[in-house]
Amino acid sequence: MPSTQAAPARQQLSRRAAVLLAAGHDAASHDVLTQPLGDSTVVQRALETLTQVVDRDRTVVVVAQGDTRVRELLGPDLTYVEQTGAEGTGPAALAARGALPGDADVVLVAYGDTPLLRSESLLGLLTRHALKDADLTFLTAVLAEPRPAYDRVVRSDGRVTAIVSAGSEPAAGETEDGHEINVGAYVAAPAFLFEVLDELVAAGADRLTDLAHRTIADGRRVETYQIYDTDEVHGINSPAELQDAADILLKRLFMPKKNTDTTIHFGTGGWRAVIGEGYTLANVRRLSQAIANETTRQGLESRGVVVGGDRRFLSEESKIAAAEVFAGNNIPVTLLPDDVPTPLVTFAAPYLGAAYGIIVTSSHNPPEWNGIKVFRADGSLPLDDETDRYQDEANAMSVDDVITLDLDLARAAGVVVDRTLTDPYIDAIEKIVDVEAVRGTDLQVVVDPMYGTSQLTLGTILGDMRVRAEFIHAQHNPLFGGIAPAPDLQRLSALIEMIRSGGGRYALGMATDGDSDRIGIVDETGEYITTNDLLLLLYWYLHEVRGEKGGVVRNLATTHLLDRLAAHFGEESREVKVGFKHVTAGMEEIGAVLGGESSGGLTIRGWILGKDGIFACALVVEMLARTGKRISELREMVYAITGRLYTLEAGVPSTPEMRVAVPRRLEAEPLTHVGPYPVVSVSHLDGTKILLENDNWALLRFSGTEPVLRMFVEADSPEKAEELLEWLKGFVTAGV
């Protein structure tokens, strides 16, 4: 039997109505309503917020007599009334009386020149009015300093006892403890609202605030809803206020949204979100449906998809949810059992001839995150225009738009087939990496999978090489030991200590991140080797020892020593944006032998079109075996060719204020020097990269996968690198 408890709430929602006051009290204030703000206008944004809590067809817009511009902006489907005769917000609201729906039991009155109110605030206002059974409820805010344009609220024992006009002397009982103001949005029953307004307007009162005065004086129940984000308290009456509003809107674009934003957003490495907020099984299904729709539109259903997952919380359930959606859309699924590395799925798509490869992972993000990476038929990451299509279509879906088929039925029908692809993946690596060259070298290594997915595949390859490998942190732990599984210096202390205390028996320490597409290296002395140096060594090795001629591709946050080495070889080097899809695209364009990024990802020509930490580890072992040298020896040999540059990087939380202020300051203050060092040029390929003399540079870039502002520098000396990084930090924080 269906429940009836929710029916009154739904009925109450349907009986809301709204009035948007968009006439303006004079020509100047009317003009403000139509000014651009972000990608729309002031009045359009006010209406957009309002219609998130009240249906558009139950909203009345009050416009100036003879107005056409506001009507053009808001569209012909709304109900409009003209304010004639007396000016003021009271007569304006009263003008809407006859146009409101007859069944309305509550009316929300809002202003067209306050576009920064949030829908959550209006919803809070409506909800509080209903729960308190109030006669009148209005929005308030407490400010650190008074604002002359806003009336003040006076309370006694928590109840509103007066509203004092802006600029008036303090009222009885008013204190200096805080500055609570009337923001200017009201909720009341229509009969009460218009009855009182009728009397007030007839008596010559012209403001909605007079409605509040009368309600308080009559001893009626007056309630308030307080907003805490004072950015919402922002009426627009001047160009300066309009610019401030534009800054606030821009800041909001980057504001982490907790309980209301459950939309899917792709970054440079797929979709990632916090579990229980953006990352939900419902979103997994919606995104899978969008990709299934694209597969069907392209006529690729018969090629099927391959679906896998890593060791994170909800990965197993998520890959099953995805498989059920593809099966429900008549798209065959190869479902990879257990947990698998991301590069295995990258390999599996072209190996199986699948339309797409899907893996549930959020790579090196902290344990509370999960996500999905999507690979095209050739194993490459889709470009931005493709991922935009996936996310936009998914976000536009409701749960009812998703088609699923129960996994047991799908397996019974053969539309979902469980298949292990570990052996083909390992075999493919061993066709490229010289396994025989390593055998007999008696290498001993330590491997830290960081509780991730590389133990089986990398362990098998090292075993086939007859390398004695000791694994640490190999057990299944979805909390990753309480840290983000990123193979960087700060998180590899156990690996470093094991090498240093090993008495010289270990030739190498290797680490892979949570989904095994990134690599970290520690040399025989226990020194952490940056990926910048590792890329340099591997490029030299591939070109000079393996004889694989060709250029190199790096992202813009990766060492320029690669360019120097390429120039020494007479080969081309290419700089691309952050995101491995740009690296592989650049490799194809110039026929590069190696592509990589300083964050730990690399691949070589002839291997998959994606990062592969497992393959990289095997290649490093081969390099040691074939050269007969340790990492420290190889570094010194290559430095003799390229010289030295020193890199540093740092990250700070990218506050919304920073997202606005930093680009604006870079535009307003063209850089001529970084400290005492002259600027050669500035690149805006991806973020802002400041190029100095002698391949020195500094980079500011907001991450596409995390709420972080990243800073990178490369300089002639460690001291200069530190100096450049400190300058960047000072620039970022100045004025924010």
Q: Read off the pLDDT of residues 527-586 as tens digits, 9 standing for 90 and up.
A: 999 999 999 999 999 999 999 999 999 999 999 999 999 999 999 999 999 988 899 999
Asked whether the predicted pLDDT for residue 177 surpasses 60, the reply is: no
Question: Helices H, strands E: what count in the chain?
Answer: 25, 34
Question: How many other CB atoms sit within 10 Å of the CB of residue 379?
Answer: 22
CATH number 3.40.50.620 given to 426-642 = no
pTM above 0.75, yes or no: no
Q: Looking at residue 722, what is its pLDDT?
A: 95
Q: Which CATH superfamily includes the segment(s) 646-733?
A: Alpha-D-phosphohexomutase, C-terminal domain (3.30.310.50)
**CATH class of the domain defined by 266-416:** alpha beta
Do 266-416 and 426-642 fold alike per CATH?
yes
Amino acid residing at 103: D
Asked whether the predicted pLDDT for residue 590 surpasses 90, the reply is: yes
pLDDT bracket for residue 9 (50, 70, 90): very low
Each domain of the chain, given as residue ranges in start order, spans 7-253, 266-416, 426-642, 646-733
Q: Looking at residue 705, what is its pLDDT?
A: 61
Instruction: Give CA–CA dist 580/299, Å, rounded.
Output: 27
Q: Looking at residue 673, what is its pLDDT?
A: 87
Query: DSSP labels for 512-544?
Result: E-TTS--EEEE-TTS-EE-HHHHHHHHHHIIII
Say if residues 600 and 492 touch (Cβ distance below 8 Å): no
Q: Looking at residue 607, what is its pLDDT?
A: 95
What are the DSSP E strand ranges found in 346-484? Answer: 356-360, 369-375, 416-418, 444-448, 468-471
Q: Looking at residue 445, what is its pLDDT?
A: 97
Q: Which residues face 682 on adjacent strands?
A: 690
Instruction: Give CA–CA dist 623/607, Å, rounded.
Output: 17
Q: Looking at residue 667, what is its pLDDT?
A: 72
Asked whether the predicted pLDDT for residue 254 surpasses 60, the reply is: no
Q: Read off the pLDDT of residues 603-651 as tens digits, 9 standing for 90 and up.
A: 999 999 999 999 999 999 999 999 999 999 999 999 999 999 999 998 8
> Quick one: fold of 7-253?
Spore Coat Polysaccharide Biosynthesis Protein SpsA; Chain A (3.90.550)
Please tell me the least confidently modeled range out of 86-90, 205-209, 667-671.
Answer: 667-671
Instruction: Give CA–CA dist 404/416, Å, rounded.
Output: 12
Q: Read off the pLDDT of residues 308-344 as tens digits, 9 standing for 90 and up.
A: 999 999 999 999 999 999 999 999 999 999 899 999 9
Asked whether the predicted pLDDT for residue 27 surpasses 60, the reply is: yes
pLDDT bracket for residue 5 (50, 70, 90): very low
Say if residues 360 and 319 touch (Cβ distance below 8 Å): yes
- How far CA 472 is from CA of 42, 451, 454, 497, in Å, comes to 58, 8, 12, 12
Looking up tokens 């309480």 gives 482
The residue-averaged pLDDT of 668-684 equals 87
Q: Which long-range contacts (CB under 8 A, 24 or more apart) does 726-729 make?
A: 727/674, 727/675, 727/698, 728/650, 728/698, 728/700, 729/650, 729/652
Asked whether the predicted pLDDT for residue 10 surpasses 60, the reply is: no
Say if residues 433 and 622 touch (Cβ distance below 8 Å): yes
Instruction: Give CA–CA dist 509/492, Å, rounded.
Output: 10
User: Three-state DSSP class for 101?
Assistant: coil
Average model confidence (pLDDT) across the chain: 89
Which letter, b or e, does each residue of 337-372 get, where b requires 16 or more Cβ atoms within 10 Å of its Cβ?
eebbbbbbbbbbbbbbebbbbbbbbbbbbbbbbbbb
**Which percentage of the chain shows pLDDT scores above 90?**
67
